[in-house]
């Protein structure tokens, strides 16, 4: 019989028992005796857990003689862990940084085990390697996700997931006009700005241009113009900003019974930038 943590195996439940002894619930279908009734008392524990860590002792009874291996066998269980190393400040991850994910286990070296990486629960087939590192150089917003590692052929050894949250300045900034087409004088029109960013866009600013000069027209994700006049005709664009940087949309034309002056696209584009850390 094998027992767990009990120094003399005087227990009501066992890891393994060749007779009628009760098997502890946590070892049912996980503990398998591979030995015999002579000199081999090998025990196999499947799908080890951190709760399996501790001392195991073997006890046998022959006729009226009883013996317990008091010193026992110590089992140490260490989980795989994923750590993030980033070239960014305070180990935060920004788009464009160099990022390395490291799969660690104090009991194993990278040459002793073959690892496989997972993203959002799916294996990354192109990274099945003996190396314990996953490189992103540079990292992009599409790299965001939940990452984990495991020993190849041992899926139950999978580590805890870590979240790689890639932060980036606003991008794909666009303006939509409702209603679309020519705007009737005296009617109302709404311009809406949309942008992708992480963290979310903190502020939106609206600008109007006549092709030569630019005016600030307001703030907020939507710009509402009531009782439109011909003076409202022009090119409009929005600027989205978060703590990482800013990005301008392409200018769109608002036709309100007036001519639209030619627009120099560089007026909007020259303001697209990313804040640089000191």
Q: What is the residue-level pLDDT of the chain in tens, covering all 278 positions?
A: 899 988 788 888 899 988 888 999 999 988 999 988 888 899 998 877 788 889 999 988 888 788 888 888 988 877 888 888 888 766 689 999 999 999 887 666 555 567 889 999 998 876 545 578 888 989 999 999 999 998 877 777 888 899 999 999 999 999 999 988 778 888 899 999 999 999 999 999 999 998 788 999 999 999 999 989 888 888 999 999 999 999 999 999 888 765 555 655 444 555 565 665 44
Q: Tell the burial category of 46 from Cβ atoms under 10 Å away from its Cβ (0-12, 13-18, 19+).
A: exposed
Q: Which CATH number among 2.60.40.10, 1.10.10.10, 3.30.70.860, 2.120.10.80 corresponds to the domain 169-274? A: 2.60.40.10
Task: Calculate the alpha carbon distances from 173 to 58, 93, 169, 195, 214 in Å.
Answer: 68, 22, 11, 4, 19
Q: Which CATH number among 3.30.420.40, 1.10.540.10, 2.60.40.10, 1.10.10.10 corresponds to the domain 81-164? A: 2.60.40.10
pLDDT given at position 183 = 82
- Cβ-contact 168, 141 below 8 angstroms: yes
Give, in words, the CATH class of 2-75.
mainly beta
pLDDT given at position 98 = 92
Domain with CATH 2.60.40.10 in the chain: 2-75, 81-164, 169-274
pLDDT given at position 267 = 47
Q: Which two tokens stand for residue 277?
A: 């850390």
Q: Tell the burial category of 165 from Cβ atoms under 10 Å away from its Cβ (0-12, 13-18, 19+).
A: middle
Can you say how many angstroms the Cα of residue 254 is from the centroid of all Cα atoms in its chain? 41
pLDDT given at position 90 = 65
pLDDT given at position 225 = 93
Nearest CA among 110, 166, 105 for reference residue 140: 166
pLDDT given at position 266 = 47
What's the angle, vertex CA 11, arms to CA 36 and CA 25, rounded to 5?
A: 75
* 201 vs 242: CA distance, rounded Å: 5
Cis ω for the linkage preceding 138 (within 30 of 0): yes
pLDDT given at position 152 = 78
pLDDT given at position 262 = 60
pLDDT given at position 63 = 80
Write the DSSP assignment of 81-148 as a string of letters.
EEEEEESSGGG--BTT--EEEEEE-TT--TTTS-EEEEETTEE-GGG-BS-SEEEESS--GGG-EEEE
pLDDT given at position 112 = 55
pLDDT given at position 113 = 66
Tell me the pTM: 0.70
pLDDT given at position 128 = 47
């Amino acid at each position: 019989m094998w027992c767990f943590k009990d120094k003399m195996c005087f227990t009501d439940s066992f890891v393994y028992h060749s007779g009628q002894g009760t098997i502890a619930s946590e070892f049912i279908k996980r503990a398998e005796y591979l030995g015999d009734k002579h000199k081999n008392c090998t025990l196999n524990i499947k799908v080890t857990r951190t709760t399996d860590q501790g001392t195991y002792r073997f006890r046998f009874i022959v006729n009226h003689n009883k013996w317990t291996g008091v010193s026992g066998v110590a089992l140490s269980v260490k989980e795989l862990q994923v750590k993030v190393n980033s070239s960014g400040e305070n180990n935060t991850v920004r788009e464009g940084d160099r990022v390395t994910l490291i799969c660690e286990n104090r009991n194993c070296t990278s040459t002793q085990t073959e690892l496989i990486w997972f993203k959002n629960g799916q294996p990354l087939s192109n990274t099945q390697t003996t190396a314990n590192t996953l490189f992103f150089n540079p990292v992009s917003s599409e790299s965001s996700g939940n990452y984990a590692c495991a020993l190849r052929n041992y899926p139950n050894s999978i580590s805890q997931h870590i979240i790689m949250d890639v932060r980036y300045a606003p991008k794909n900034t666009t303006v939509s006009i409702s209603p679309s087409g020519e705007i009737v004088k005296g009617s109302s029109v709404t311009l809406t700005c949309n942008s992708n960013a992480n963290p979310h866009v903190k502020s939106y600013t609206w600008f109007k241009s006549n092709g030569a000069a630019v005016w600030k027209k307001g703030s907020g994700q939507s710009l509402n113009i009531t009782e439109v006049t011909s003076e409202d005709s022009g090119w409009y664009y929005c600027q989205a900003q978060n703590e990482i940087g800013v990005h301008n949309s392409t200018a769109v034309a608002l036709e309100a019974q007036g001519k639209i002056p030619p627009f120099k696209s560089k007026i909007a584009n020259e303001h697209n930038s990313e804040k640089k850390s000191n």
